[in-house]
Structure 1
Amino acid sequence: MRILIVDDEPLVRIGIKSAIPWEAHGMEIVGEAADGEEAIRLMIEHKPDVILLDIKMPKRDGIEVLQDMKAKGIEAKCIILSSFDDFVFVKKAMQLGAVDYFHKPTMNVNDVLDVLKKMQSLLEPQREMPIERGFGKGDALRNMLHGKTENAHQTKLNEGNLHVIVFSIKNYVQVSNRYTHDNVTLLPNSITNILSELLAKEKEAEFTQIDKNLFALVTSNIRSKSEQATLSYVNDLIQLIHSSLKRFVNIDTVFGTSDVFSSFMESNRAFTQAKQALSQKFYRPDLFIFHYHHEHHAGEQVLEQVTTYIKEMKMGLRENNREQFMTNLVAWEQFLQEEECMSEQDVHKIYDFILFMMENGEEYNEYRNKAAETEDFTTLKDVYRPFFDEKWNKGSLANHKKYSQIVRNILKYVEENYTQDISLKMLSHHFHVSSNYISRLFSQEVGRGLFDYMNEIRIEKAKDMLKDYRYKIYEIAEMVGFNSHVHFAIVFNKYVGMSPKEFRKENS
């Protein structure tokens, strides 16, 4: 599979190229571009299968690149690379044909590789593997669901009263661990064997596994002229599968169904409908059957409100403003519960970024892994909320008991507000003491000047962030409280002995 990397940050491109042994996975980086114009030229020249595309770039941004691709008939698949608050732009990119996206600050190599492998499995093996004979017809059915219907006649299906049904296993990680022996998961074979028995007598039903936790069933019913009778048959079949899997392998399943369709050519659209129906389980975990309805997509106003909440949360994090962060977090969660306007994947990514901003060590990975196993919105909130509360409520006074009360208060204030413009005059008004007294007392007790201490905090925060190439240097300067990236570079060099760029190069 041929991949083109498009990002204006050289370290991002280097990081992506270096993070994955591409050749070992049957993939090749065919080029890299630093702006949208160069990207289009390289697409025409190298004809990549997949493009990793930054959304904000000089000359032409990611949205304009996608529009150009559409106009020029370039069919490569695009994965968007975005920042935390690019939500509206990401949605526009998805509407223009992007297949997935990653937030650069929390982009995980394994997640990127998983998405690329799924795309690779669609682009390459299905053109080469022979069609199976017998139950399921494996690739013939999978090809049909992905819009390639030339081998549909190999299945038992007929055109007329067709339905696509998809289902997944609840609490998949825990369930699969019960059915793993010698690192081999036995669950898919168990499900296949059970459904083979259940569907053996069905004349117009086929089943296949799409992904590790996504299974698809397609039925047709040319004998029935009633859509209601067909829908009743589909519901009975779902009930049979659900109860049988619960009885024989003790697993709970949840199902999504498409509208009825009449021809094989519509099967890809029906497959999309069924997956969209299934996605409703994230907000409604008590149900196990979801039928596709032509619900309107979230409008521009709804998406703008979501973006506003996200930006306000981000501002609260950067300015250590607990009230601003928590108020907008609660409002955002309540808005999602009412509107159901963000996908499960999108919600996970927002929580993941908040976690990353608060904790960038082992605790981050621990909570991230725990959250990855969570399948519904209410439980996901319950996983993250205690952690957020603990981080905000954890005071730092214990570290400062040797200082006087006024110095302890100043230390605490600086640690919580280092991203803001702090001056002696402002501290004087805030603590109702003279600026000369603050300066003299702080130097006596702490052993260095107030602004030296404040810059040390800012530079230490910056050093941690520079180790992650997904942040641009000017963004880091702003996030730790410097008004100018030039001033940031001067202060950084004073305390570290090298420029931010040199430090990043040594530690990336």
Structure 2
Amino acid sequence: MKVLIADDEALVRIGIKSSIRWEAGGMDIVGEAADGEEALRLIEERKPDVVILDIKMPRKDGIQVLTEMKEKGIRAKVIILSSFDDFTMVKQAMKLGAVDYFHKPSMNEHEIEAVLYKVKEELESERQSGPEATVPGEVTGEGVLRRWLQGSTEGIERTKLREGNLYIMLFSVKKWAHVLQRYAQGPASFLPSTIRNLLTELLSKEPETEFVQLEDNLYAVILSQHEIKSVQACFTRVNDIAYLISSNLMRFVNIETVFGISDLFQSFEGGKRAAAQARQALEQKFYHPSDPVFYYRQSDEEPSLDRVNDFIVAMKNGLREERYDEFARNLNEWEQYIRSKEILNERDVKKIYEGLLFMMEDREKYLEAGGTLEFIEDFEELSVYYHDLFNKKLEAMISATNKEYSPLIRNIVQYIEANYKENISLKSLGEHFQVSANYISRLFNQEVGKGLFHFVNEIRIERAKELLKDYRYKIYEVSEMVGFNSQVHFAIVFQKYVGMAPKEYRKEHV
């Protein structure tokens, strides 16, 4: 699989190249681009299978690149890189066909590898499933139906479907992680094959009906009813099929299902749009975990997403500036807002919580909790889970902030605040205060609640943020003024603490 990386920050490109096992995964980097125009040129020239694309770049941003790729019919899969508060642009990119996205400050090699391997599997599946491919027990190849749901009508006329009164239903198994745990003792393929066999049996005699498995826990059932004149009769049949599937899966396999159903559409050309509608309907289960069926409904999404972005920026600022009461208030208002609007899906909400936790420098705890999160499928449970984590972390941060320091640590803190531009080390502090360096390190961690160098970097970065607002200073000059010997090191530390590159911060705050 050929991969192209497009990001204007050299450090990000280097980090991605260095952290992934490319050869072991059968992947090859075929090019790098530092701006949107260069990215488009290399995409056309080298024809990558996957593009890792930064959403904010000079000359042309990621949205413009995606738009032109779509206009030119370029079918490469696109993975978006964004800052934490680019949420509106990220959703726009997903609408244009991006397959996934990462927040740059919190992304890690395991997450990137997992998505790349998943995309690689999808590409291999698409290549192996030609128009003539068939699966035993099915009238048509799964590849034809999958491509149709993605926008290609090639081969669809050979299925049982006919144009007229079409519906697409997507369904998944509730409490999937718990169900998998229940069947863990049997063969790995037992549950998926049982579901497939049961669907084959149930739908074999149904006219104008097809099904295809899309993901581990996602199935599509497509119905057409070209001879039925009554819209109500069509709708009734759709509900009957949903009940047929859900009742039999409960009876024979003891699993609950949840369905998302598209609007009625008339021609094969509407398949991709209807599939998106069904997926959007199914995502409502995140907010209503007890309901068995959801129907697509239109929503005024764009203004709502802008409001979500405002909340994200406010929460970030509250954490960054240690205004924890303000953070908590905005967190609660954001949760109330998305609960009332139901505009964010499960994955988006989890990513936002993850980003906030990362800003509290608790990434390790988040990764350790991954197994727990697999069992959480609804918003209320997820909110309770993260509030518990946030409260514990904030209590520790507030406690560390308010703690009275011993005379030695108080003097060291004052010294650092006055001399942060200098080359401060445990050795130099030990010599200056005539105390063991190891003793300073241990006592500083104990009283301040963070390492000495973390404390120094915090002070340097806060001063750098003020200097970056003044265009008289170049970025490398700011780097030197706050005590960094290397602009590269400054950029890495700034990205870690602020969540964006120095030049990006300057653009947003000047």
TM-score (norm 2): 0.79
Which residue number in structure 2 is paired with residue 253 of structure 1?
257
In the aligned structure 2, how far is the partner of 1:462 from the partner of 1:239?
A: 62
Which residue number in structure 2 is paired with residue 478 of structure 1?
461
The secondary structure found in structure 2 opposite 1:290 is strand
Which residue number in structure 2 is paired with residue 39 of structure 1?
39
Which residue number in structure 1 is paired with residue 6 of structure 2?
6
Residue among 122, 133, 137 paired with 1:134 = 137
Residue among 191, 197, 201 paired with 1:193 = 197
Distance 1:8 1:161, change over 3 A: same
Shift of 1:234: 1.0
Which residue number in structure 2 is paired with residue 298 of structure 1?
301
Shift of 1:65: 2.9
Contact 1:179 1:187 in 2 (8 A): yes
The secondary structure found in structure 1 opposite 2:98 is coil
In the aligned structure 2, how far is the partner of 1:461 from the partner of 1:64?
A: 40
Shift of 1:160: 2.4
In the aligned structure 1, how far is the partner of 2:362 from the partner of 2:404?
A: 31
Which residue number in structure 1 is paired with residue 322 of structure 2?
320
- 2:236 corresponds to which letter in structure 1? S
The secondary structure found in structure 1 opposite 2:369 is helix
Q: Percent identity?
A: 45
**Which residues in structure 2 correspond to 1:85-484 (within 5 Å)?**
85-129=85-129, 130-135=133-138, 137=140, 138-181=142-185, 184-293=188-297, 295-300=298-303, 302-360=304-362, 362-394=364-396, 407=405, 459-460=453-454, 478=461, 483-484=466-467
Contact 2:460 2:482 in 1 (8 A): no
Structure 2's unaligned 5+ residue stretches are 420-432, 468-474, 497-510
Distance 1:250 1:43, change over 3 A: same
Distance 1:395 1:347, change over 3 A: closer
The secondary structure found in structure 2 opposite 1:25 is coil
The count of corresponding residues between Structure 1 and Structure 2 is 462
Shift of 1:502: 9.7
Shift of 1:247: 2.0
Shift of 1:69: 3.7
In the aligned structure 2, how far is the partner of 1:215 from the partner of 1:376?
A: 20
The secondary structure found in structure 1 opposite 2:229 is coil
Contact 1:31 1:42 in 2 (8 A): yes
The secondary structure found in structure 1 opposite 2:367 is helix
Distance 1:160 1:30, change over 3 A: same
In the aligned structure 1, how far is the partner of 2:381 from the partner of 2:270?
A: 36
Distance 1:397 1:180, change over 3 A: closer
Answer with 113-122 or 365-374: which moved more: 113-122
Distance 1:483 1:458, change over 3 A: farther
Contact 1:482 1:488 in 2 (8 A): no
Shift of 1:411: 7.4
Answer with 49-58 or 148-157: which moved more: 148-157
Shift of 1:144: 2.7
Q: Deviations over 1:184-217 (max 9, x none)?
A: 2421011112222222332332222110010111
The secondary structure found in structure 1 opposite 2:51 is strand
Structure 1's unaligned 5+ residue stretches are 425-442, 466-475
Answer with 149-158 or 239-248: which moved more: 149-158
- 2:221 corresponds to which letter in structure 1? L
Distance 1:136 1:292, change over 3 A: farther
Shift of 1:477: 5.5
- 1:390 corresponds to which letter in structure 2? K
In the aligned structure 2, how far is the partner of 1:73 from the partner of 1:192?
A: 34
Distance 1:367 1:118, change over 3 A: closer
In the aligned structure 1, how far is the partner of 2:409 from the partner of 2:160?
A: 73
Shift of 1:176: 1.1
The secondary structure found in structure 2 opposite 1:284 is coil
Answer with 258-267 or 59-68: which moved more: 59-68
The secondary structure found in structure 2 opposite 1:80 is strand
Distance 1:411 1:229, change over 3 A: farther
Shift of 1:287: 1.0
- 1:501 corresponds to which letter in structure 2? H
The secondary structure found in structure 1 opposite 2:219 is strand
In the aligned structure 2, how far is the partner of 1:133 from the partner of 1:183?
A: 20
Answer with 190-199 or 20-29: which moved more: 20-29
TM-score (norm 1): 0.79
In the aligned structure 1, how far is the partner of 2:347 from the partner of 2:243?
A: 28
Q: Deviations over 1:358-403 (max 9, x none)?
A: 2435422123442343221111101101111111123686999xxx
Which residue number in structure 1 is paired with residue 427 of structure 2?
none
Distance 1:296 1:409, change over 3 A: farther
Distance 1:132 1:92, change over 3 A: closer
Q: Deviations over 1:26-77 (max 9, x none)?
A: 4321101122232122122212232111122233332333344455554433
Answer with 54-63 or 268-277: which moved more: 54-63
Shift of 1:19: 2.7
Shift of 1:224: 2.0
Contact 1:458 1:480 in 2 (8 A): no
In the aligned structure 1, how far is the partner of 2:368 from the partner of 2:376?
A: 13
- 1:134 corresponds to which letter in structure 2? G
In the aligned structure 2, how far is the partner of 1:396 from the partner of 1:290?
A: 43
In the aligned structure 1, how far is the partner of 2:399 from the partner of 2:328?
A: 22
